[in-house]
Structures are given as structure tokens and as C-alpha cells.
Amino acid sequence: MNYRNAFMAMLIRDLRIAFRQRAEIMLPVIFFVVVVSLFPLAISPDPAVLKTIGPGVIWVAALLSVLMSLQNLFRSDFDDGAIEQILLSPYPGALLVLARVLAQWCVTGLPLILISPLLGLLLHLDFHIIKVLFVSLLLGVPYLSMVGAIGVALTVGLRQAGALLSLLVLPLYVPVLIFGSNAVVSAAKDMSYNGQLLWLSALLVIATTLGPFVISSALKVSCSYR
Amino acid sequence: MSKVDKLWLWFHRMASPAYFYNIAGRLLPWIAVATIILMLVGSVGGLVYAPADYQQGDGFRIIYVHVPSAWMSMFVYMVMAVNSAIFLIWHIKLSDIVARSSAVIGASFTFLALVTGSIWGKPMWGTWWIWDARLTSELILLFLYLGYIGLRSAIDDRRVAGRAAGILALVGAINIPIIHYSVVWWNTLHQPASVSKLDNPSIELSMLIPLLSMALAFKLFYLFIVLVNSRSELLEQEKRSQWVKELVTSQ
Amino acid sequence: MNRPVSSGNAELLAENLSYEINDKLILTDLSLAVRSGEILFIEGGNGSGKTTLLRILCGLMQADEGRISWNGESIQSALLDCYQQLTYIGHATGVKSDLTTIENIRFFSAISGLPASSDIQSALEWVGLSGYENSPGRHLSYGQQRRIALSRLMINSSLLWILDEPFAGLDKKMIEKLQDRFVEHADDGGLLILTSHQSIDLNKMNSIRIHLGN
């Protein structure tokens, strides 16, 4: 029994699969950029307006793209039976699931975070505000992936999973949305934003410690129904 | 036998379907009568005897529905979460049934709290909806309930539905305090605290008694519905068992 | 030596299993036992609950009633021990369409937690897949994907094999080889539970038979 090997095997497998489906992993990032660029068209190209709505727009768009990127998190493993082998492995399900979510985060969450400064520029945010936006997303997006994965694990066996997934997961995203976008807004007003960032960190710690266990037991439940 | 063992035995007996069915059947009429009396006391006390608010006039009387249903909305979710945990850990079917029948009624209480809050808001704020911390929390709570109900009804197999929804209820229960805190915090940033009239720090006794009696009536009403639901659900699920057969033949 | 089979007498025991799906009884009061060196062959038509039974036996599903024990311990408490000894191959093979044969096998091997008792190349030869090492799963037929899954029986030999329709999609020659392997496994003290809806000539194998359904 070698826990590190099992974790790495899972991580490498998923990264490999993801990179062989290049087009699919780019979609959430493209979605993110497109959604954000719709707002100036819908509301106003006025820099003053964009500055005020910018943080919220970017955060909401990030939240929706993460949710979209998660839709198929366990789908193929569920369809081809790999999930059974994962659940029947003597290694803890939480460990393998953590590797799975981490891989997903690397290929979809990380690009999202990396491209966010560009979107900040499009919405006329100042450089020091973009910095805060970047940090808030860096702390918030992994939380979104982890909590979203719980919803995915619960709905993976269902046919119409998409709409239900949003209903299950979006209410749980509320705190991160509030603290994340508010950190950026506070930075824009030259107010302290450390509290919000600390909250985001705390939520991230809770989600990454408890999340994998919840996800693996949810997968077990979903798997017992075919 | 130690106290813990006795408690455990009692717990198991309560959880045994036949025993629960009988006890619940005997309790139901009493609960119904108590609910009606308390509701009458609350309504008459609240609508007639309680003095009108010096600022809001008679409009405030809607709190006799709004506040108890807001309390219940949170309480029922907690009942649901606790029962889900019991079901997931000890596989006690009855807990799953309680959680299941709580969901719909909890959602109804939440909806009622939202609607009455909004009706109350009209004379107070001059608008049907305001992003007040309480109302916003209630709205998110309603989404949580709807998610639970949605997940449950999407899964055909009863046991699987119970376990999946149970996990969701527990995740929700961990999140509710965080959501509530974040919404309150967000609200104080955007609105001065004075707007939040839904808090009533000082309350007169003539207002308090009807309010408490309404709150109790709501609790008993909930208990009544849960017991009725659980009884019929138990019959359905246990229809192959001995005690149901005996019950049917004896009638 | 091909395997790390334990010398002791392992036993998988199921007592009074019942399972229903939405009021339809799938299993009623079913008991069975498999010990070291035994092969349990579960027959039955489509929908007779064979797959359900196997999934319950390996803990993927939970029976409504009854208990399962592994070496005298209830399966819940012996889960880790049991999973360290278990190879389960279901209908779905778990072969990823974007990974090559070798990558698929390496992944299974890594998460199985078992020491490799044979090298991948000779296992591939055994299942007749040499030459397909670097073909992605999507280029393989269903039978070939099944062979990838079956190669685990060579590479990571565990004590308890639970195989759902192991002969499905295989040619006659492979079925022969597989049966030889089963006999060898039982002779080495392994436990084997398999299902099939085809009536396959299992004369080679000395098996206990259970019939599900009518």
C-alpha cells in the first residue's frame, strides 16, 4: 500500500485524459471570457459603471464557469465503470477523489484564475484592485470546485443532472460570492479587505478537509443505484 | 441496566415501526386539538387584544404569521438534518421518513415567511421586496429546501434517494450558519442597520403571548403533519411486514 | 510462485440477503458461502438479480436485510481487509477511451493496492493484446476492453475474485484460457464468484452452482 503512488496515479490519469481532450478543457475559460464581455454591451461601456459592477460580474461569471466545468467531473468514470474500481480500491475514497478534483481544478480552475487579470483590465479595474481580485479567486475557486463536486457526486447517476446541480450548488456558493466580490469592492474603495480574504481562506480549509469525505460517500450512494 | 442502555432501548423501541405507528395514532387527536386551541388564542390575541404598533399601525399584526413561520423554517431544516444524520449513521428508516416529510412542509413555512415578509414590507418600506438580511437568508433557505426536494424526487429508488438527500441536508446544515452570517454581514455593509425593523428588541406582554402561542401552534401543526405523513409512509414501506398485515386484518 | 495467496482458510459468507427495488423483490432470503479453493457459479436469466447480488457481495450496494461476513467478521468492519484481497470486474470495464492499454492497466494496478505478480507484457500476451499496448481505449472493441480488465487477474492476483459475466464478448479460445486460470486460482486457495447467463460448459471447473430467478 503506497498512498502517494495511488494519489499520483489518479492525478496523472486525469491530467492525461484532460490534455487529450484539449477542446473541452478550454470551454469553461472561453465561457468565462464571453460572459464577462457581454456585460459592457448589456449595461454600459462607461468606465465608471464598469468599475463598480466589475468585481461582481467577474465573480458571478467565474462561479458559473466553475459550475459548468464540473458537470462532467465524474460522468465518464461513472459510465465506463471506473468509479467502481475507485470505490473498491483499498485506498481511501477521499484520497482518490481529492486527486480527481485537484486535476479538474488544474485544468479548468487555474486557467480561469490566470485569465482573470485580463478581464479586470477589460472592465477598467485598477492594477491594485486586480491584484485583490486575483487573490480572492485563487482562494475562492478551489472552494467552488470542492463544494460543486459534492453536488456532482450526488447527481452523477441522474439523467437531467445539469439544472438540478445548479439548484443544489449555487445556494452553497453564496458566502464565497459575498466575501470574494466584496474583497474586491473594498479594495476599490480603499478599505481593508483582509477580513474577507481570511474568511475565504477559512472556507477553503473547511471545504478541502471535509469535502473529499463527503464527495466519496456521495459517490458511493450514487453508485449503488444503476 | 444502566441509564444509557435504557435510553438506547427506548430509542430503538420508538424507532420500531409498529410501535411508532400506534403511539403516533394515539397522539394525533390531542395534537390536533392543542394546535387549534393555540392557533385560536394566537389569532384572537394577536388581531384583537394586542395593541396596534405606534409606528406601523395594524400592519404589524402580520408578524403573528411571519415570525413563527420564519422560526419554523430554520427549525424544520435542523430537524431534517438531524434525522438525515441518524438515518445515515444508524440506518433507521423512520428518520428518513421524518426528514422526507419535513422537507415539503419546511419549504412551505419558508415560502410563507417570504410572502408575509414581503407583504409586511409593502407598508413599511413602500416596496414589495427589499434585500433585507432576514428575507435574503430565507430566500436562500428556500433554495436549499427546493434542492433537497428536487434531488429526492429525481432518484427513483427510495433508499438511495434518502441517503443522497441526507448527505445534501447535512452539507446544507453546515452551510446555513455560514450563509446566514455572510448575508447579515453583507447586509450591514449595504444598508444602515436601522432599516432592519424585523427585529423587535422590546416587546409587550400582550404581544408576546399571542406570538408565543402562535409559535407553539405552528410547531404542533408541523408535528401533526409529520406524524400523519410518517404513518402513511410507514404503512406503504412496511406493507409486507407482519404488523401491517395484522393491522389490516383486524380492521 | 505466482501469487500472494494467504495460507489460511478465507471465507465469504452471506446470510439471508433480501433486496427489493421499488417494491419489486430482487433477492429473497438468499444465503451463500464461498471458501478458499471454491468456485461459486451463479446462474440465472436476465434480470434475475445476478449483478445486484455481486454488487451487494462486494459492498457497492447494501442489502435491505441480511449480513455479509468476510473471514467471520462483518463486512463493514472488515472492509479494508476485504478490499485489499478483492478483484471485482463488472459489466463496465472501467477502461478509459483516452488512455492507452498500458496506461489503463497501470492505473488499475496502482489503485488496486496489490503487488504486481506478473509483468504487464506477459499479461497482455495472455489476454491476447500484445501489439495493442499503445492503442487508445476508444480504438478497441468491447471484447478487447474486457480483456484489458481481465488482465488484472494475471497482474495483481488477489484472493477473492468477483466477476460479473467474465465470458461475455470473448472468443472460445479465451474462454478456455480463462477457465484454466480459474481452476488454477481455486487450486491455489483462492475464492471465486462468477455469473453467466449463457450455459457455458464448465466441466473443467469444479464449481458450486446457485440458480437465481425462476
The chains found to touch C (3+ Cβ pairs under 8 angstroms) are A, B
pLDDT at C130: 85
**For residues B146 and B110, is the Cβ–Cβ distance under 8 A?**
no
pLDDT at C4 over 50: no
**For residues A149 and A214, is the Cβ–Cβ distance under 8 A?**
no
Alpha-helical (H) ranges within chain A are 3-20, 22-42, 47-70, 75-80, 82-87, 93-104, 110-122, 127-155, 161-188, 194-223
pLDDT at C3 over 60: no
Looking at the DSSP assignment, which residues form a beta bridge with residue C196? C43
Percent of chain A with pLDDT strictly greater than 90: 81
List Cβ neighbours of C204 (8 Å cut-off, separation of 6 or more).
C179, C180, C183
C21 to chain A, any CB pair closer than 8 A? The answer is: no
User: Among B8-17, B22-31, C80-89, which is the least confidently predicted range?
Assistant: B8-17
Confidence of residue C200 (pLDDT cuts 50, 70, 90): low
Q: How crowded is residue A4: how many other Cβ atoms within 10 Å of its Cβ?
A: 8
Most confident of B120-134, B166-180, C22-36, C42-56: B166-180
User: Among A121-130, B96-105, C4-13, C54-63, which is the least confidently predicted range?
Assistant: C4-13
| Buried/exposed code over B164-202 (b: 16+ C-beta within 10 A; e: otherwise) | bbbbbbbbbbebbebbbebbebbbeeeeeeeeeebeeee
pLDDT digits (tens, 9 = 90+) for B196-241: 445 555 567 777 888 899 999 999 999 999 999 989 888 888 777 7
Structure-model confidence comparison of residues B121 and A148, the more confident one: A148
Alpha-carbon dihedral of residues A68, A74, A78, A79, nearest 10 degrees? Answer: 40
- Residues C184-200 have a mean pLDDT of 82
The helix (run of H) or strand (run of E) holding residue B183 is helix B158-190
CA distance B85 to chain A (A): 13
Looking at the DSSP assignment, which residues form a beta bridge with residue B23? none
CA distance C183 to chain A (A): 24
pLDDT at B64: 87
Of B164, B172, B175, the CB nearest to A222: B164
Whether the complex's predicted ipTM surpasses the cut of 0.85: yes
pLDDT digits (tens, 9 = 90+) for C145-161: 999 999 988 887 788 89
Domain extents in chain A: 3-220
C35 to chain A, any CB pair closer than 8 A? The answer is: no
Under an 8 A CB cutoff, do C84 and A1 touch?
A: yes
pLDDT at B86 over 60: yes
Residues of chain C contacting A8 with CB distance shorter than 8 Å: 110
pLDDT at B1: 56
CA distance C203 to chain A (A): 31
> Rounded to two decimals, what is the model's pTM?
0.90
CB pairs under 8 A between A and C: 83
Most confident of B103-112, C90-99, C134-143: B103-112
Question: Quick one: closest CA in B to A210, which residue?
Answer: B171
pLDDT at C202: 64
CA distance C22 to chain B (A): 6
Residues of chain B contacting A167 with CB distance shorter than 8 Å: 143, 146-147, 150
Measured in whole angstroms, how far is the alpha carbon of residue A135 from the centre of its chain? 14
Residue tagged 458537470 (cell numbers): A71
Of C55, C92, C107, the CB nearest to A13: C107
Residues of chain A contacting C93 with CB distance shorter than 8 Å: 80-81
pLDDT at B186: 87
- Residues B16-43 have a mean pLDDT of 89
The chains found to touch B (3+ Cβ pairs under 8 angstroms) are A, C
Confidence of residue B244 (pLDDT cuts 50, 70, 90): confident
